[in-house]
Amino acid sequence: MSITSINPVNGKLNRYYEEDNPASVGKKIDQTHKAWLLWRETGFPERAALLRKMAENLRHQKEELAVLMTIEMGKPVKDGVSEIEKCALVCDYYAAEGTGFLKDEIIATEAAKSYVSFQPLGIVLAVMPWNFPFWQVFRFLAPALMAGNCGLLKHASNVPGCAQAIEQLVRVSGFPDNVFQTLMIGSGAVNAVIEHPGIKAVTLTGSTGAGMKVAAEAGRLLKKTVLELGGSDPYIILADADLEQAAETCVYSRLINNGQSCIAAKRFIVVSSVEEEFTALFKEKMMQRKTGDPFDAAIDLGPMARADLRDELHRQVQDNIAAGAKCILGGKIPSFEGEHAFYEPTILTGVKKGMPAYSEEIFGPVASIISATDTDDAVRLANDTFFGLGGAVFTKDLPLGEEIARNRLQAGSCFVNTFVKSDPRLPFGGINQSGYGRELGLFGIREFVNIKTVYIR
């Protein structure tokens, strides 16, 4: 059996990768467990030094790693370079802050001494997606290693080269053998890995359906999970918003990674008094974005990651049009030479409850504009979703914007007058069908540790 890497620009084969059989998977788990028995005994200074070395190696190899992403999932090279730089940043962040995050916390009680200690759990299995093939892994890996855990990666099957490159980066940065390994397996083999007694926790970034399956299996075995799942992020445009700035920011957020991001803006909820003006600006700025060869620095959008994903996106667009939405831009599969998985930037207006674009996650360069009567109605529409990953509000009234973001928008990350993004310094994650648990920041590194009470009389 083999795992195939296909170039989404032209549909040509990159290469085949040999798939791990059950015996080789078991061997890797055993090797990583043995590595953990030693790794957990290392001190924070040693772990931090290795993380800083890995950050250095990431920056040194950022161009070649960006190219690898492009040929496996279509990301423009310039965006891939930025992704690798962000991976280096999270390594440096936990190298600098991890010791403080995990130091013993003294708690005053009647005891002679009582405190909380944070100790590693063991092997964390990471089930990761293709859309940010390095960043999604490093935002789990950096805190896991700093905490004294080890990792096994089941990456998306269309980015096996990226998976192997990450394992190589860990190795050449000086980490002990087998503290992190890649499992070349399909999704059907994940449950068997979770069942292995050497696996102590699971983190997954992916679809809501995939998260439910992993959570069910891990829950059956009482193993800790963190799930970062889908989203249909609402961006509220209030009547007093700076429409020029809002439109520019909204277009940027909708087209990040060719629209293939859980926290990309997806539903634009616009107060009716400014809907016409905002929509015109939004369309104008969408039309300025250039689609084409992801190796061209002038290009804003490359192909989608796979042709089947592009075809599913097009089906969703057509279903919305059939349900009464109006397509004012795009909505077509381009036909330029060499095209394989490209899709035009698309705008749907008149989106209403009952249409797919109102309730489903649209994972591609398609924007849905929804009309609201006023501020309260906009907030109601924003929260009328099964998801809860991120959201944003645009207004010149900053106290009102903060009040909506803090108290009224129901999501894990809420931003005012800018786009939703992850930051190593801030916790990241969702609620409802967008998952649970947090990555990054203080809260992220404490997800996969034993929060142990020590009490001495």
The closest of 184, 172, 230 to 55, measured between CA atoms, is 172
Query: Could you tell me where the DSSP H helices lie in 228-343?
Result: 243-255, 272-287, 307-322
pLDDT of residue 354: 94
* Alpha-carbon span 417 to 413, nearest angstrom: 13
Q: Do residues 245 and 253 lie in contact, with contact meaning Cβ atoms separated by under 8 Å?
A: no
The closest of 273, 278, 206, 277 to 235, measured between CA atoms, is 278
Q: Within 13 Å of residue 262, how many CA atoms lie on the same side as its CB?
A: 30
DSSP string, 137-181: HHHHHHHHHHTT-EEEEE--TT-HHHHHHHHHHHHHTTPPTTSEE
* Alpha-carbon span 423 to 205, nearest angstrom: 16
Q: Do residues 25 and 178 lie in contact, with contact meaning Cβ atoms separated by under 8 Å?
A: no
Please state the length of the chain. 457
Cα-flanking dihedrals φ and ψ of residue 110, to 5°? -75, -10
> So where are the chain's domains?
2-229+431-456, 233-416
CATH topology for 2-229+431-456?
A: Aldehyde Dehydrogenase; Chain A, domain 1 (3.40.605)
User: Is 298 buried (19+), middle (13-18) or exposed (0-12) by CB count in 10 A?
Assistant: exposed
Q: Is the CATH code 3.40.309.10 the one for domain 233-416?
A: yes
The closest of 139, 138, 144 to 165, measured between CA atoms, is 138
User: Is 436 buried (19+), middle (13-18) or exposed (0-12) by CB count in 10 A?
Assistant: middle
Q: Do residues 207 and 183 lie in contact, with contact meaning Cβ atoms separated by under 8 Å?
A: no
Beta bridge partners of 371: 270
The closest of 390, 398, 399 to 428, measured between CA atoms, is 390
What one-letter code names the amino acid at 150?
C
> pTM score > 0.75 for this model?
yes
pLDDT of residue 2: 87
* Alpha-carbon span 409 to 170, nearest angstrom: 39
Q: Do residues 287 and 251 lie in contact, with contact meaning Cβ atoms separated by under 8 Å?
A: no
Query: Could you tell me where the DSSP H helices lie in 367-452?
Result: 375-383, 398-403, 441-445
pLDDT of residue 336: 61
Could you tell me the maximum CA-CA distance found in the chain, to the nearest angstrom? 76
Region for residue 58 given its phi and psi (left: phi exceeds 0; alpha: psi -120 to 50; beta: otherwise)? alpha
Three-class secondary structure of residue 252 per DSSP? helix
* Alpha-carbon span 341 to 306, nearest angstrom: 6
Digitized pLDDT (tens) for each residue of the chain, 457 residues in all: 789 999 998 899 999 999 999 999 999 999 999 999 999 999 999 999 999 999 999 999 999 999 999 999 999 999 999 999 999 999 999 999 999 999 999 999 999 999 999 999 999 999 999 999 999 999 999 999 999 999 999 999 999 999 999 999 999 999 999 999 999 999 999 999 999 999 999 999 999 999 999 999 999 999 999 999 999 999 999 999 999 999 999 999 999 999 999 999 999 999 999 999 999 999 999 999 999 999 999 999 999 999 999 999 999 999 999 999 999 999 999 876 556 899 999 999 999 999 999 999 999 999 999 999 999 999 999 999 999 999 999 999 999 999 999 999 999 999 999 999 999 999 999 999 999 999 999 999 999 999 999 999 9
Q: Do residues 200 and 119 lie in contact, with contact meaning Cβ atoms separated by under 8 Å?
A: no
DSSP string, 37-76: HHHTTS-HHHHHHHHHHHHHHHHHTHHHHHHHHHHHH---
Q: Record the tokens describing residue 186, joined without a space.
A: 């399909």
Three-class secondary structure of residue 124 per DSSP? strand
Count the neighbouring beta carbons within 10 Å of the beta carbon of residue 351.
24
What one-letter code names the amino acid at 454?
V
Unique residue bearing structure tokens 């028995």: 37
Chain centroid offset of residue 453 CA: 33
Q: Do residues 434 and 104 lie in contact, with contact meaning Cβ atoms separated by under 8 Å?
A: no
Cα-flanking dihedrals φ and ψ of residue 349, to 5°? -115, 170
Q: Give catalytic residue positions.
A: 228, 262
∠ CA 306-361-72, rounded to 5°: 20
pLDDT of residue 455: 98
Q: Record the tokens describing residue 404, joined without a space.
A: 């909506």
